[in-house]
Structure 1
Amino acid sequence: MSFRTPPNPNAVAAFESFFQGWLVRQEHYLDELLSSQQNSHESHDSDLTELISRVLSHYQHYYEEKSKLANCDVFLVFSPTWFTPFERTFFWIAGFKPALTFRLVNNAVTDLTDEQKRRLGVLVSETKAEERELGEELARIQESVAAPPIAELVRREGRGGLRDGEVDDAGEVFEALRAAMEGVVGRADLLRTRTAEKVVEVLSPVQNVRFLTAATQLQQRIRVWGLQKEEGRRGSSGSGWY
């Protein structure tokens, strides 16, 4: 008897279908961002602001759908099958580290004013402090899983050796673990979105177009590299070299 509920295949399939469509829409947004960047001298701030709002909404949609999936199976979002192994090497708590935002700004925006630099410096400190807090919380959760009583229940469950009463106990432990993990992912995603929103508030519309272009290009570049690595691995496996 198992205390763990298997992932809902319909929920997983629905999310993967959503994600493929999301990537297509991301390509379209990148085209718009690049066009606006090239013609920024002809664009009105209101037009750029409207585009920026749509791009941010696009990313927010991803986090909303991801939250729904995490509610069904939070452990899956920690090792998402819709990302390649290479992409996952960049992840921190089921997604990119929020502080990466500031590296992108520094690389893409070279005309920051002193006041903008000051405000961004404050955001950097606040964001890194929250990252440390979340990292410590996740470490505590992981340590609790490795504690002898829980680890023994998991091992015995894997061998099918739990009795009815133990299944109830293990189920309660597992549910508490699931809730804790879901909470950490939710807070990490909130920090990611909130950091981006605060950066957008600091930058001008033209600067934001450059920032969002760089962020989108980096994400797409990492994905392409990941897919190429997977293709190369499959090709090498089929060649008899290994």
Structure 2
Amino acid sequence: MNFGQFYEIWLQQLQALQELASVPKPPSSPDHDPYLTHLVHRFISHYEDYYRVKSHSARTGRGGVFSIFAAPWLSSLERSLHWVAGWRPTTIFHLLYTETSARFEARLLDFLHGLRTGDLSDLSPSQLSLVSDLQCTTVTQENLITDQLSLWQESACHLVSDDQDDPEIQRLIKVLNNADDLRLSMMKKVVEILTPQQAVEFLIASAELQFGIRGWGLDKDRDRHNSLSLQQS
């Protein structure tokens, strides 16, 4: 199985997990938290599987690390949004702030009446402070990895083969692994800041964003292909 085939199966499993987690639940309580915590662990484990297989494919798969960067299994839109062969880690903070703001506005009257929801609209000041600090750290680490990739690109003129043992190939694989490690670790750290209920809502929103971009991108590629076919006929 190549990585593209694995990715399709992985997406199907993510969708099934998203649908399971999206089933309406009662407000979070001590008795309910274990179930929500279990869902969070399943989401995180699923992302860990993705990055583990991705790293293995970059080292040993057909096309190696160049195939991972080219990502032919993705739409043009998805590839255009990539940073080091994947989503930019700071995206999770933009998503979190967007979800928090939208939910807060929708429940503003409840808050004015002193009602607490315990969901993503109800982040505490200490949670917001931790998220802000983590975002600053992530930006710094992103910049370091961007510099690593730039240095690799400057030396790429010396690349004479696609041999996986070539030192330049190994350097690029290391940059990719650093980027993926940052993506995964930042997701885990954000989830650790949130309550189980908030974490499940955040992970559902993350999956929805991924599926939304993918669906839109595939539709655009299909429209472009049909348009070219009509012009050539």
Q: Map residues 21-170 of structure 1 onto 2, 5 A cutoff.
A: 21-35=9-23, 38-41=24-27, 44-72=32-60, 73-108=64-99, 109-146=120-157, 150=158
SS of match in other structure, 2:22: helix
Deviation at 1:122, TM superposition (A): 1.1
- CA separation of 1:119/1:86 partners in 2, compared to 1, >3 Å: closer, same or farther? same
SS of match in other structure, 1:110: helix
Deviation at 1:79, TM superposition (A): 1.0
User: Which runs of no fewer than 5 residues in structure 1 stay unpaired?
Assistant: 1-12, 155-169
Deviation at 1:216, TM superposition (A): 0.2
Tell me the number of residue pairs that the alignment of Structure 1 and Structure 2 aligns.
208
Deviation at 1:110, TM superposition (A): 2.3
SS of match in other structure, 2:45: helix
- CA separation of 1:173/1:107 partners in 2, compared to 1, >3 Å: closer, same or farther? closer
Q: Which residue of 1 aligns with 2:174?
A: 183
Q: Give the TM-score of the pair, scaled to structure 1.
A: 0.81
Q: Percent same amino acid at aligned positions? A: 33
- CA separation of 1:200/1:177 partners in 2, compared to 1, >3 Å: closer, same or farther? same
Amino acid at match of 2:193: V
* Alignment check: 8 A CA contact 1:52 1:209 kept: yes
Amino acid at match of 1:33: A
* Alignment check: 8 A CA contact 2:164 2:170 kept: no
Cα distance in 1 for partners of 2:178, 2:230 equals 45
Cα distance in 2 for partners of 1:203, 1:71 equals 34
User: Which runs of no fewer than 5 residues in structure 2 stay unpaired?
Assistant: 100-119
Greater C-alpha radius of gyration: 1
Deviation at 1:174, TM superposition (A): 8.0
Q: Which residue of 2 aligns with 1:230?
A: 221
- CA separation of 1:214/1:179 partners in 2, compared to 1, >3 Å: closer, same or farther? same
- CA separation of 1:134/1:241 partners in 2, compared to 1, >3 Å: closer, same or farther? same
Amino acid at match of 1:141: W
Amino acid at match of 1:134: I
SS of match in other structure, 1:239: helix
Deviation at 1:211, TM superposition (A): 0.6
Cα distance in 2 for partners of 1:132, 1:171 equals 27
Amino acid at match of 2:8: Q
- CA separation of 1:42/1:134 partners in 2, compared to 1, >3 Å: closer, same or farther? closer
Deviation at 1:33, TM superposition (A): 2.0
Q: Give the TM-score of the pair, scaled to structure 2.
A: 0.84
Q: Which range moves more in the overlay, 41-50 or 217-226?
A: 41-50
* Alignment check: 8 A CA contact 1:84 1:230 kept: yes
Deviation at 1:212, TM superposition (A): 0.5
Cα distance in 2 for partners of 1:144, 1:131 equals 20
Q: Cα deviations across residues 91-117 of structure 1 (Å, max 9, x unaligned)?
A: 100100010111111122321111001
RMSD: 2.0
Deviation at 1:30, TM superposition (A): 1.2
Q: Which residue of 1 aligns with 2:210?
A: 219
SS of match in other structure, 2:122: coil
SS of match in other structure, 1:130: helix
* Alignment check: 8 A CA contact 2:65 2:172 kept: yes
